[in-house]
A and B are shown apart, each in its own frame.
Chain A
């Protein structure tokens, strides 16, 4: 969607930012050819992000995909702040994929905040500067005598004001300033950043207006399902296409050969019908396919676990980090612990199943795509169809969740292919079972750990054999570990190695990839070492953070600050006064530039029923929490997702296919399980960083550590529900 009907561009300037090489996008100034409402003035389209109407209404383009992280609201807040307008004057519209005008249009890695903090502010500031210059010209006064506030340029000396809307004609004649050097506000003057701004789509959401990819409608649209082999990489050998075509309401049915890229178009059968439900019913009840299942049919999660157990008996195939002599340190330690940890494959389970609407005509493809990576989607689709990227248009829709699933665009390729085949608009929609069984999963993993604590209570030796997935030396996607992952660099004698198992199941990033599993392992094992050596788990961690070392993957001072804060806020010092069966656990983790420390209080009945009583979260994401109202939502959502992942979720692979299919066997946390969550941010003198992911990882080990404190059961294998927590 574009904000205003536009004429041809008169000026086109692309600005590049220093220190990152990020092209902000096009800057151009012209006037809308449409006559403004009643006044003869035209709207000022300052640049690809900002349009100012004669009545003062400001339209801002939100350029990034919105997955529920609040970016559609937040990026425009940054522009509006520096433009110096009131938020009540702002209308936000979603931008489409437009790599000429917008850079960094993707949702992932909690990247949008650090990437766009300055660029979006510069766009607002530069637009304001143009308006100030225009007003100076109108009044014949020096710019230095002018200020702005709430969408007006003010000349205090003469008591004159001009609202931005009255400056549109004059502003269009002013040359754009240099974006790199335009003056930004002193944060002390912020009026929008740091305030509670509700999501711009709330009204549409609560009244049921169409917003999501699945809500797209095109004239003459048909509906499609796409049936793939339940075994990853399997291919159609034959299918009863004629019988399918004969069904009432079915308009097309055909086999697609596809390729071998598990995150692209794969072999399958498309059924296109007048109604989605008809297509899905025919797929379930009529379609019969013989599959060539392929080699992955031999793989299973049970097989992986058995193989990992064998591999523990050998030294790691690859060394990832060796500091000092971990073996000697551990054998000489006053306290030693050895433990095996594991966690399962996980699905993303976005509540809106994957879908895409596509229209192909005259060699051009138009798509309405709920995707986190529209640029990647365009490339994949163009390559799959063998058409130039320029002939693909991607409209961004709001998404019912991303969580990393929508980083991959496999279903876009399916929709594009089907659209070209049927030559009418078509909406491809996956069922929940399709979604659960054709994911790119958070990979499972296996860790053998040995640790030693010296007579002074310091963690002195650490050995980790990580049995993971990959081929040769290459880890599978999201199956790796950084060599600087905490506590690396804080333990003088440290050994980390890995052995990889072949995997035919596609894997990918799930919110806080890597961290969502590794924090559980490492922060639980650190807890085991603390408890074995009789130390307070918070103090043990503070001592660890104060250890000097090389190649430390985090800033220990920032982490110590949030750890101390959460201990204080949660009443950690009084935890021994909790009744039997109730306990507090602590954990911290650094990921995506954010520092989070969390305490969970949990109660375990003697029968083993778990209740999460309360959670305290302290985070450091830099100097500003840009939208506190949204930040609270993101943080508590991350914690609840961590609990969901940990408590009852596991993807079972058997015969190369995923067993689970829907929310009856892949459960999400429900309201009655959600505890109160106290969230606090510590502001530090660092540029603001993202919040979508870092609150999640420590929630899981904090919960598991609380369970141990409550009932003495140590959870070393997720999900929690497969552990017997009964005690007493």
Chain B
């Protein structure tokens, strides 16, 4: 049964079982490997994407439920890989094995879109659903704080632009 939706700004139509999780449609049908499989039961967050802006575990999202929705994956988070979170991750050398990081970044991006100046508690709470087996939590947190600060600076400089 065909399902149509938008992925990273591109319209797609896929013909798969209606209850196939979006995760597998992204990875195996649309060849977008950035979104990862870790548990299949929404416990680890490695599969996090944005559906109409909301951070969602795609492993438990039947593809039929995203019909006509806009999905953003890690590949579409920024045009050139230069979202402040992506840059912060490079600057701080956040990843170890790297497998969880796309999901971490997607959850963090949704947090910052909604809460541009998160407290440490806000960050802990928002990121609670993302596991990192290698334990990069301290650098993830620092990366989020750095990106938040960058984004605040950017907004300030735009807001206070030349007269």
Contacts and interface: CB of A to CB of B under 8 A. Distances in A.
Interface in B64-119: 73-75, 81, 85-86, 89-91, 93-102, 105
Contacts of B91: 198
19 contacts: A70-B96, A201-B98, A202-B89, A203-B81, A208-B74, A208-B75, A209-B33, A217-B33, A275-B20, A351-B36, A351-B99, A398-B98, A401-B99, A401-B134, A431-B40, A637-B134, A641-B134, A664-B43, A670-B128
B135 A636 contact: yes
A207 B132 CA distance: 18
Interface of A: 66-70, 196, 198-199, 201-203, 205-212, 214-215, 217, 223, 248-249, 275-278, 349-353, 398-403, 429, 431-432, 629-630, 633-634, 636-641, 644, 662-664, 668-672, 674, 676-677
B90 A206 contact: yes
Nearest to A217: B31
Contacts of B123: 671
Given A398-B97, A398-B98, A671 B137 contact: yes
B3 interface: no
Contacts of A402: 97
Q: Name the 7 nearest CB pairs between A and B, nearest first.
A: A208-B34, A68-B97, A400-B99, A640-B135, A208-B74, A205-B98, A672-B124
A275 B16 contact: yes
Contact of A637 (B17, B99, B127, B136): B136
B124 A400 contact: no
A66 B97 CA distance: 8
Contacts of A641: 133-135
Contacts of A349: 133
B136 A662 contact: no
Given A275-B24, A640-B137, A353 B37 contact: yes
Nearest to A349: B133
Interface string B40-71: 11011010000000000000000000000000
Given A202-B94, A351-B133, 7 more contacts: A66-B97, A212-B99, A402-B97, A629-B93, A668-B132, A668-B133, A669-B137
B105 A206 contact: yes
Given A68-B96, A201-B98, A637-B136, A432 B81 contact: no
B128 A672 contact: yes
A432 B95 CA distance: 22
A432 B36 contact: no
Contacts of B85: 206
Interface of B: 16-17, 20-21, 24, 28-29, 31-41, 43-44, 46, 73-75, 81, 85-86, 89-91, 93-102, 105, 123-125, 127-128, 130-141
Contacts of B127: 670-671
Nearest to A196: B93
A207 B75 contact: yes
A67 B75 CA distance: 23
B38 A68 contact: no
A276 B59 CA distance: 13
A6 to B, nearest CB: 28
Nearest to A672: B124
Contacts of B35: 208
Nearest to B141: A671
Contacts of A403: 133
B43 A208 contact: no
B128 A400 contact: no
Given A277-B20, A672-B128, A400 B97 contact: yes
Contact of A207 (B31, B36, B81, B94): B81
B39 A662 contact: yes
A431 B33 CA distance: 17
A670 B138 CA distance: 11
A401 B20 contact: no
B139 A633 contact: yes
A670 B100 CA distance: 13
A223 B134 CA distance: 28
Contacts of A249: 17
A206 B86 CA distance: 6
A68 to B, nearest CB: 3
Nearest to A664: B43
B38 A639 contact: no
A211 B36 CA distance: 11
Contacts of B124: 671-672
A671 B128 contact: yes
Given A206-B89, A663-B131, A671-B123, A634 B96 contact: yes
Nearest to B76: A208
Contact of A633 (B29, B89, B93): B93
B138 A674 contact: yes
Nearest to A212: B99
Given A640-B135, A662-B41, A676-B138, A633 B97 contact: no
A629 B101 CA distance: 17
Q: Which of B44, B91, B134 has the most CB of A within 10 A?
A: B134
A633 B81 CA distance: 23
B41 to A, nearest CB: 6
Contacts of A248: 17
B132 to A, nearest CB: 8
Contacts of B41: 432, 662-664
Contacts of A276: 24, 28
Given A349-B133, A663-B44, A671-B123, A208 B100 contact: no
A432 B40 contact: yes
A221 to B, nearest CB: 9
B44 to A, nearest CB: 6
B97 A67 contact: yes
Contacts of A66: 97
A209 B102 CA distance: 10
A35 B32 CA distance: 34
Q: Which of A67, A70, A205 has the most CB of B within 10 A?
A: A205
A677 B142 CA distance: 13
B33 A68 contact: no
A275 B97 contact: no
A206 B101 contact: yes
Nearest to A221: B28
Contacts of A431: 40
Contacts of B24: 275-277
Contacts of A217: 31, 33
Contacts of B139: 633
B133 A350 contact: yes
Contacts of A208: 32-35, 73-75, 102
